[in-house]
Structure 1
């Protein structure tokens, strides 16, 4: 009879309001949890018979908690460079164990090095990333299982071979013109005096320093010949110490021509070096600028001069600090001033982040409602930017939670009143037999 359905509806109301109060309790208790996403509570009706006309059967109510995982929390400043926040959509990729396959996702970016140098957050989860090669590059296969735990302490005391020489220099357009014959090695041997030269210190894989010189001689209108050679030549196995040579051409406006359709030059190719001491090396890239620009070499009437030059490599020493760019490049800064990119941190995005499954430790797992994860560098394809020295605060609004607490408490009392009232009515029915 309808009276019993009213009793059941009251019980359903008690259960729904109790669930709602549990959501409020969870939100309030996590108000200071970094990266916590508050939950909302909605209610949905239960209908026993929607076609009723003369009689009505109560169905009751059911709680419907709603995850607000996609809601952005306030980014707050931190004094630790490995405290990371995401401005925009996406999640850090983490693992609960060091070598496990238990990939999870989180916005809790309070990462600190543990005793082995791995970055872990307050829940003990290991931050994952792509380890960069000697050229600062990586391959994104889209597979989260290809990510490795972020660890920087294993670089302490290591040596890194030089991978690049980037220069910004001007070659004087009115420099004396060399009109005689030229053969590879003439500049290195001193047979031809260069119009301009500059020396650099580069390093092999054992951290040993070597001196190389980049020299140029003007051979025609808007045309130069360049050589890169070791000093002394005995440092390398190449004949005469010559590591690279080639022609350089410039446009009438003084910008560099770097176009294989116009001419090819060995001076633009990576330089393979074989050290005489047996130390390892990697191909050396000569950053001479881009085609049609003055970003590297240029040719103007002013005096030949080196404007800026950078090289890398050497004995790394001890790590002084860690830096993370907004694109997610994690670099180690060593006490000798060398900065080396070590990891690229990915940001994982989902078609429906609110459909993720919550787990302990303020992290989430894939579900059929969330869709598959897409991992990209920060700031690309909808992924948010990574902010170093920031932490995302909890999204819980304390005033709103207290208001909800009052509402749910009143509703719980009202549902209990339904039960006591129905009980009295059933007692009246029981008394009819007397």
Structure 2
């Protein structure tokens, strides 16, 4: 009996050494969660009760408990390196099977899908059709776009200017955009875009009339007039009075590039008539050319953006995090992957930085939670435990040998 007790102690110490050895081996494994060997005593009983003098039967390994504490987050500067600061696991699809991980060392495969080193695809909530949010109940593989961003034709041009209050009528009439003496001032040209992303130049010319506080504006695109001249009227305080809404619609302009008709509106809200000098305070328009993919960026909320050279940011999805009521019940599949079990409870999937889910930190990785110093102490403790139980075996052997040698 006593031999078995010491043997159980040796086995327990050996299990502790195995767990400690595994922890130390994974001290540099991204997203690794250290384990702890937990033991229970063995108490054999016979009959219906236990004597107060009963002796236990040794120790046994009760469980190897994973410790899901937060690991240090180390910056890497690589856009597809992700770390979870808080609760939750990355949600992955491995050949159709749902698996979970805290290791965010992702990369792209030959088809542009974002995968971990084992090829499991990162799951995201897909964008809404209108681009205003994400489908909370619909998970999809994250795939990075490699196509160009489509152009957007200009529909609105904004000008904010100050016309000189003391201006006189031009000395040359009628107006001719080729003769600078036939107009007082011009905007110098605003770049606008057609439906194919080809740029054009929109220019506004300002001509003072004989009436006080009154001007005419002529609008051209690539030297072609787009509508009749529009009368601008200002109050005696210099504020724009007409057009009342500050908007001037252009006639449709048909580019020679094969693009569709360009229908634009000129918004001059906030323009004034002050002082003695012309001033163009602001120009803006809402179109853009096609763009090349510059980079992929990911926000703290897990939104994955494709950023293009034309300034457009396109949301490709939102990283999905999953949490469990009992993470220690997850089954460790190796390669930094876990799968759910009955003991872990049902998975809850949601967006980062919402409810009890943590934030996503891009350009960083979560380090192993193994404290090397503590593991070395555990190793010494298990070693002493092993030696002590071995010594008990030796002592018991000597006692047994002494009994056998009695004559």
TM-score range relative to shorter protein: 0.5 to 0.7
Which position in structure 1 is the counterpart of 2:102? 107
- Give the alignment of 1:140-155 within 5 angstroms: 140-142=135-137, 146-152=138-144, 154-155=145-146
Which position in structure 2 is the counterpart of 1:326? 300
Q: State which structure, 1 or 2, has the greater radius of gyration over its C-alpha atoms.
A: 2
Which position in structure 2 is the counterpart of 1:79? 77
Q: How many angstroms does 1:202 deviate by?
A: 6.0
1:239-279 deviation digits (Å, cap 9, x = unpaired): xx8799xxxxxxxxxxxxxxxxxxxxxxxxxxxxxxxxxxx
- Give the alignment of 1:25-424 within 5 angstroms: 25-49=21-45, 51-69=50-68, 71-96=69-94, 100-132=95-127, 135-142=130-137, 146-152=138-144, 154-156=145-147, 158-160=148-150, 162=152, 201=192, 204=195, 224=245, 231-232=252-253, 311=286, 314-317=289-292, 319-424=293-398
Cα distance in 1 between the residues matched to 2:289 and 2:13? 65
SS of equivalent to 1:315 = coil
Contact 1:75 1:85 in 2 (8 A): yes
Contact 1:92 1:107 in 2 (8 A): yes
CA change 1:311–1:82 in 2 (3 A) is farther
TM-score using structure 1 length: 0.64
Give structure 1 stretches of 5+ with no counterpart.
Answer: 173-197, 245-287, 289-296
Contact 1:85 1:390 in 2 (8 A): yes
Give structure 2 stretches of 5+ with no counterpart.
Answer: 163-188, 203-218, 220-229, 234-239, 275-279
Superposition CA RMSD, Å: 4.3
Cα distance in 2 between the residues matched to 1:402 and 1:148? 43
SS of equivalent to 2:27 = coil
SS of equivalent to 2:135 = coil
Moved more, 37-46 or 127-136: 127-136
- How many pairs are equivalent? 340
Moved more, 403-412 or 381-390: 381-390
CA change 1:82–1:37 in 2 (3 A) is same
Moved more, 41-50 or 374-383: 41-50
Q: How many angstroms does 1:368 deviate by?
A: 1.7
Cα distance in 1 between the residues matched to 2:89 and 2:153? 32
Q: How many angstroms does 1:211 deviate by?
A: 9.8
Contact 1:12 1:62 in 2 (8 A): no
Contact 1:160 1:203 in 2 (8 A): no
Q: 1:24 aligns with which of 20, 25, 28?
A: 20
